[in-house]
């Protein structure tokens, strides 16, 4: 067991073997890793535990550099556990290097079908029993997709929870993938219009880049291909508090004059790659639409919903925009099948991803009856016009979960937990305690 001391915190590693399929506990085992973090000097205190479930899917938990970010507030009261959800970080990895060991695309897809929220909750329960004992209960903080997992936790194993805190992650319990994206494209369009109102010079800058890429896709430093549609995916930035500014500064340095004339700069291409590459989180792309799959909602599967629904919103078509004089719109967190051709980290997983997209009859992730009878205190920050999670869905879910209290705010964007330095978390804690 490794113990690390950083400024203001002490971290301890925990590794646990869990079943790949919790319905077959004696079958294949994988590892899950979690990092226990406690305030320096309080290692021996009897503190309540707070499990953190990261956004995603397919993202590892954050790596603290000391008492930073939301940990500034959390460590006042809790012993925090940062879980690397299965397939990510120091848990048994699932990526282009490891998945071929499973066999071909069929075997890879069958394996990855066990990496959704229901399995993550069962993993967390195994860790809880190891650390707290069968009767111990912990608090839960779910950010974004971690909030989706929180709703699954309340549906599958509420007996393990003493309270739940959710930031930007109240999923629509009965929303299909088609419905999710049908609601998402207009929100993304609004974020685009907000960006262009803030930086009107970017209208011409983006059109110039898109026109160039339409005729001459660029090679990224990692061997990936920057097409006009891949360039649009930089709109992922627009859902965070500082993302619009980050995008603008990237566009400012898009061009240099080389020996053959103007060309996209290495600085720009490296910056675009840093935002677009899935090398560090391939499961985000592979599993993204499957997080909405539920047999009671849409038994036919997700079938690349973002790509199909996009046709209903022609304002996102690059050629249509370039044929006129309006802005080229960026897209959001949508995952498209062509990404598995342009990104080297995803190419080897293309066939498995296609099989997951066509998979039918995904098990349900939420139990509305159990949620309606919920007895666990739940508080949730709902960000007004959140680009990633539909506000209307979130509020409808809040009405479904018994006793859930919401705080609707436009002070923060989707990354409010991280960006607020503990302010968002502090409010949710005080709400859970009845102080607000």
Q: Per-residue pLDDT tens for 102-117?
A: 999 999 999 999 999 9
| Residues 342, 371 within the same domain | no
**How many structural domains compose the chain?**
2
Do 135 and 193 fall within a single domain? Answer: no
| Residue 1: predicted pLDDT | 73
Domain span at 225: 177-358
Q: Do 300 and 226 reside in the same domain of the chain?
A: yes
User: Which one of 178, 343, 386, 415 is the catalytic residue?
Assistant: 386
175 flagged as catalytic: no
Residues 191 and 339 occupy one common structural domain: yes
Answer with the one of 306, 328, 358 that is the final residue of a domain. 358
Residue with tokens 């685009």: 192
Mean pLDDT of the chain: 97
| Distance between CA atoms of residues 353 and 346, nearest Å | 9
The pLDDT tens digits of the residues spanning 35-85 come to 999 999 999 999 999 999 999 999 999 999 999 999 999 999 999 999 999
On whether both 185 and 235 belong to a single domain, the answer is: yes
Asked if 386 is an active-site residue, the reply is: yes
- Is the domain of 161 the same as that of 280? no
pLDDT tens by residue, 298-340: 999 999 999 999 999 999 999 999 999 999 999 999 999 999 9
Q: Domain ends where: 342, 358, 374?
A: 358
| pTM, full prediction | 0.96
The pLDDT score that the predictor gives to residue 328 is: 98
Q: Which of 91, 144, 155, 290 is catalytic?
A: 144
Catalytic residue chosen out of the listed positions 59, 277, 414, 420:
414
- End-of-domain residue from the set 358, 382, 401: 358
Within this chain, do residues 292 and 203 fall inside the same structural domain, yes or no?
A: yes
* 329 and 271 in a common domain: yes
Q: Give catalytic status of residue 76 as yes or no.
A: no
Q: Are 145 and 203 found together in one domain?
A: no
205/351 same-domain check? yes
136-148 residue pLDDT tens: 999 999 999 999 9
225-226 and 218-219: which strand pairing?
A: antiparallel
Judge if 336 and 428 occupy the same domain.
no
> Which CATH number goes with the domain that contains 87?
3.40.50.1820
Whether 189 and 132 map to the same domain: the answer is: no
């Amino acid at each position: 067991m490794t113990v690390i001391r950083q400024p203001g915190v002490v971290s301890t590693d925990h590794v646990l073997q869990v079943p790949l399929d919790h319905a077959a506990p004696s079958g294949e085992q994988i590892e899950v890793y979690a990092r226990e973090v406690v305030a320096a000097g309080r290692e021996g205190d009897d503190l309540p535990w707070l499990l953190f479930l990261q956004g995603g899917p397919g993202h590892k938990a954050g790596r603290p550099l000391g008492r930073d970010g939301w940990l500034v507030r959390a460590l006042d009261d809790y012993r925090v556990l940062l879980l690397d959800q299965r397939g990510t970080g120091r848990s048994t990895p699932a990526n282009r290097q490891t998945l071929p060991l499973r066999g071909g695309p069929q075997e890879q897809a069958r394996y990855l079908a066990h990496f959704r929220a229901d399995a993550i909750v069962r993993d967390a329960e195994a860790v809880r029993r190891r650390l707290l004992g069968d009767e111990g209960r912990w608090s839960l903080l779910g950010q974004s997709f971690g909030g989706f997992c929180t709703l699954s936790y309340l549906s599958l194993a509420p007996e393990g929870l003493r309270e739940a805190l959710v930031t930007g992650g109240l999923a629509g319990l009965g929303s299909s993938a088609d419905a999710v994206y049908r609601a998402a494209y207009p929100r993304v369009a609004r974020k685009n219009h907000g960006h262009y109102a803030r930086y009107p010079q970017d209208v011409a800058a983006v059109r110039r880049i898109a026109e160039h890429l339409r005729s001459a896709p660029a090679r990224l430093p990692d061997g990936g291909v920057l097409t006009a549609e891949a360039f649009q995916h930089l709109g992922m930035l627009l859902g965070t508090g500082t993302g619009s500014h980050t995008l603008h500064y990237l566009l400012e340095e898009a061009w240099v004059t080389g020996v053959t004339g103007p060309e996209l700069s290495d600085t720009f291409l490296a910056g675009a790659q840093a935002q677009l590459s899935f090398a560090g989180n391939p499961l985000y792309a592979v599993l993204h639409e499957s997080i909405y799959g539920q047999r009671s909602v849409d038994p036919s599967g997700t079938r690349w919903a973002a790509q199909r629904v996009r046709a209903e919103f022609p304002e996102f078509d690059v050629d249509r925009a370039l044929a006129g004089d309006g802005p080229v719109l960026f897209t959001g967190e949508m995952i498209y099948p062509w990404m598995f051709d342009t990104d080297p980290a995803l190419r080897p997983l293309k066939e498995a991803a296609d099989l997951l997209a066509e998979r039918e009859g995904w098990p349900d992730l939420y139990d509305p009856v159990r949620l309606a009878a919920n007895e666990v205190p739940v508080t949730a920050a709902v960000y007004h016009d959140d680009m990633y999670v539909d506000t209307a869905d979130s509020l409808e879910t809040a009405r479904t979960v018994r006793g859930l209290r919401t705080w609707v705010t436009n002070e923060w964007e989707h990354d409010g937990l991280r960006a607020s330095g503990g302010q968002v978390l502090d409010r949710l804690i005080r709400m859970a305690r009845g102080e607000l």
